[in-house]
Amino acid sequence: MSLLNPSNGWRSSSSRLLALYSSLFVAWSCILMGVLYYEVSAYLGDLSRHSLMQRQHLFQHFEGTQLDEALATSMTFDMKGIDAYGLFDGQQRPLSGPLQQIPAGLPLDGRIHALANCIESDDPTLPRGSCDAVATHTQDGRWLVLVRDNGSLLGVTRIILQALFWAISLTILPGVAGWHLLRRRPLRRIRGIQASAEAIVAGDLTHRLPLSNRRDELDMLAAIVNAMLERIEKLMNEVKGVCDNIAHDLRTPLTRLRAQLYRIKQQADEDSPLAWQLDAVISETDTLMARFRGLLRISELEDRQRRAGFRVFAPLPLLQELHDVYLPLAEEGQMTLLLQVPAALPPITGDRALLFEALANLLSNALKFTPPGGEVILRGIDQAGSTRIDVLDSGPGIPEAERAAVFQRFYRVEGGQQQGSFGLGLSIVAAIINLHGFRLEVGSSERGGARLTLECRPQPPL
């Protein structure tokens, strides 16, 4: 069983949080800058109209040459390219000032108008583009046209946009860097928790999730899980204790039952019907005792206390021995038992006798479920420096849906097969494999039947 792998980046909760934070920040900055822009440009627009209006009122008090002089003087103080004026006669012909013609579309009504395109000229000292303009009828019958560029507001816009750009860049860049730093630490801790959880899943219920001194959410979660594990472990131990007690209590009565039945049989006449019945009963008792011993054996193997007995041994003699032991059984059932091994196989670390038992069980099952004329192959493979043992048969195979279930105690293949059950055999196999930390995989063989693959290498935690 493998736990969900934590994603490397985008899906982690800190990434999501930072992404949300960044986008909110950008949106908020945009709104702020927009409002600022709107307010500032409205204010500046007002200011420019006011200044135009003031000039208009100022020059209304002058007449004749006084006006010409005042205008010429004011021009020296005007900002080039921003303010300009033109004095025109009654026929709108230019008299003086930088403006050589009245801007097109400017009504001669003495009121301020905003023009999109005020002066068509190449003179860089004249305002171009949008402007506010006003044409005033002077007391001596001339037209005074005053123009003020309001395009300088574009400059403000540019400044604000630049500020916005920098603000967003300075938010996004440190945000990405911060995201990198922030997501790594929780991920490291999650990986620590995952490693512990895998040890627990693998059967070590005494293991607990690691806690840090920070008392944050992860610690709270780990503490909750640890409390849960505590309870589960206690329950498991209680159940196991009860099972062990039942098992222990049953041993003696079973021994007595078998002994007494046997004694009654010996006292009965050998050919009487009673003796036959007793034989049947004794044989049932033997089956019962065998099953019982099998169950006890599995529970011992699950206690995982036998690793001390592990040795390094060569797999080839083991496979050869298995082949020798089971060949007569195969031939009796008109089956072929093939041993396919390379010249050398990497050594296995484990309990040789237990692995012999496990493989014997697998072979025994393969032979049981393969019809006469079929073929069973015992194969050793050097797989990337460790030994892999395959048991292949040409029997009916194990349906995919049942592959996980066959290792449960007393599992029977569905479909009313007469050949009997796997009984405890495969559960013992599973217990032995688990004890070694090896991996057993059920698949389909190229012969059409089942393939059981034993990888004789302790599986690294996922």
Partner 1 sequence: MPRILTIEDDAVTAREIVAELSSHGLEVDWVDNGREGLTRAVSGDYDLITLDRMLPELDGLAIVTTLRTLGVSTPILMISALSDVDERVRGLRAGGDDYLTKPFASDEMAARVEVLLRRNNAAKAAQTALRVADLELNLISREASRADQPLSLLPTEYKLLEFLMRNTGQILSRMMIFEEVWGYHFDPGTNLIDVHIGRLRKKIDPPGLTPLIRTVRGSGYVIAEPV
**Residues of the shown chain interacting with partner 1 in the complex, contacts defined by CB under 8 A:** 248, 250-252, 254-256, 258-260, 262-263, 266, 279, 282-283, 286, 289-290, 292-294, 296-297, 300-301, 305-306, 308-309, 324-326, 328-329, 332, 353-354, 356-357, 360, 364, 428
- Least distance in angstroms from the C-beta of 319 to partner 1: 15
- Least distance in angstroms from the C-beta of 367 to partner 1: 9
Cβ within 8 Å of residue 298, ≥6 positions away: 409, 424, 427, 428, 431
- Least distance in angstroms from the C-beta of 378 to partner 1: 15
Q: What is the rounded radius of gyration, in angstroms, for the C-alpha atoms of the chain?
A: 48
Phi, psi values for residue 131, rounded to 5°: -155, 165
Q: Please, which residue, 100 or 299, has the CB nearer to partner 1?
A: 299
Q: Please, which residue, 223 or 250, has the CB nearer to partner 1?
A: 250
Q: Please, which residue, 37 or 407, has the CB nearer to partner 1?
A: 407
Q: At what angle do helices 425-436 and 273-302 cross, to 10 degrees?
A: 20
Q: Please, which residue, 333 or 461, has the CB nearer to partner 1?
A: 333
Amino acid occupying residue 332: E
Per DSSP, the three-state class of 313 is: strand
Cβ within 8 Å of residue 428, ≥6 positions away: 294, 297, 298, 301, 357, 358, 361
| Cα–Cα nearest to 422, from 406, 443, 439 | 406
Q: Please, which residue, 23 or 283, has the CB nearer to partner 1?
A: 283
Task: Please name the helix (run of DSSP H) or strand (run of DSSP E) that holds residue 69, with its range, or none.
Answer: helix 64-77
Task: Please name the helix (run of DSSP H) or strand (run of DSSP E) that holds residue 375, with its range, or none.
Answer: strand 375-383
Per DSSP, the three-state class of 179 is: helix
Rounded Cα distance between 167 and 82, Å, is: 31
- Least distance in angstroms from the C-beta of 281 to partner 1: 10
Half-sphere exposure of 226 (CA within 13 A, CB side): 13
Q: Give strand ranges (E) for 217-364.
A: 311-313, 336-340, 348-350
- Least distance in angstroms from the C-beta of 397 to partner 1: 21
Q: Which residue has the tokens 């860089």?
A: 124
- Least distance in angstroms from the C-beta of 208 to partner 1: 27
- Least distance in angstroms from the C-beta of 326 to partner 1: 7
Q: Please, which residue, 224 or 290, has the CB nearer to partner 1?
A: 290
Q: Please, which residue, 102 or 322, has the CB nearer to partner 1?
A: 322
Per DSSP, the three-state class of 88 is: strand
Q: Please, which residue, 10 or 276, has the CB nearer to partner 1?
A: 276
- Least distance in angstroms from the C-beta of 419 to partner 1: 12
Q: Please, which residue, 125 or 277, has the CB nearer to partner 1?
A: 277
- Least distance in angstroms from the C-beta of 15 to partner 1: 50
Give the CA angle between residues 379, 380, 382 to the nearest 5°: 145
Q: Which residue has the tokens 């279930």?
A: 405
Kind of pairing between the strands at 375-383 and 336-340: parallel
